Amino acid sequence: MLAYEDMTWENYVLICDAIVTIDQSRLEDELTEQPVNYSHWSGLLAKAKGELDIANLELTQFIARTTKEIQEDSLRSGKKKTAKDLDSLVESHPEYAKYVQRVSSINQKYLMIKGLVSALDQRMSSLVQLCSAKKAEMKLYN
């Protein structure tokens, strides 16, 4: 969870290097440990997706609520706003940037973790190929 909470670019690079490295002298162990690592990062990916969905919903709700408030205020004053006017007013609202930044931050974390899960997929393919090559080499010498 610490890696999840502190998913910076620097930490991403360190984690990526750590999880994709294959010690060929421990191929059997590497194959055994792979599903645990994959499930761990897949779980974190699901957590990030859930947070991203919530942040997007909160942004959508803020836009709807603020648009409605602006529309009601303009109707009371007798000045109807166009859709473009409403969008501009909502997007210039000080809180709008906070919601967008939160979505952006969580999306970046989600994409980084998605990249780690993809790297683990590729790692598994490499492990399978390395094990097959090792078995073929052992047959050759036996």
Alpha-carbon span 75 to 81, nearest angstrom: 8
| Structure-model confidence comparison of residues 130 and 53, the more confident one | 53
Alpha-carbon span 48 to 115, nearest angstrom: 12
The length of the chain, given as a count of residues: 142
Instruction: Report the pLDDT value the prediction gives residue 114, as an integer from 0 to 100.
Output: 96
Identify the band that residue 95 occupies on the pLDDT scale cut at 50, 70 and 90.
Answer: very high
Instruction: Report the pLDDT value the prediction gives residue 40, as an integer from 0 to 100.
Output: 92
User: What pTM value is reported for the model?
Assistant: 0.83
CA dihedral 114, 115, 117, 118 (to 10 degrees): 120
Q: What is the pLDDT of residues 26-64, one digit of tens each?
A: 888 888 899 999 999 999 999 999 999 999 999 999 999
DSSP, res 92: T
In 3D space, the residue among 121, 128, 119, 117 whose CA is nearest the CA of residue 31 turns out to be 128
Instruction: Report the pLDDT value the prediction gives residue 107, as an integer from 0 to 100.
Output: 97
First to last CA, the chain: 46
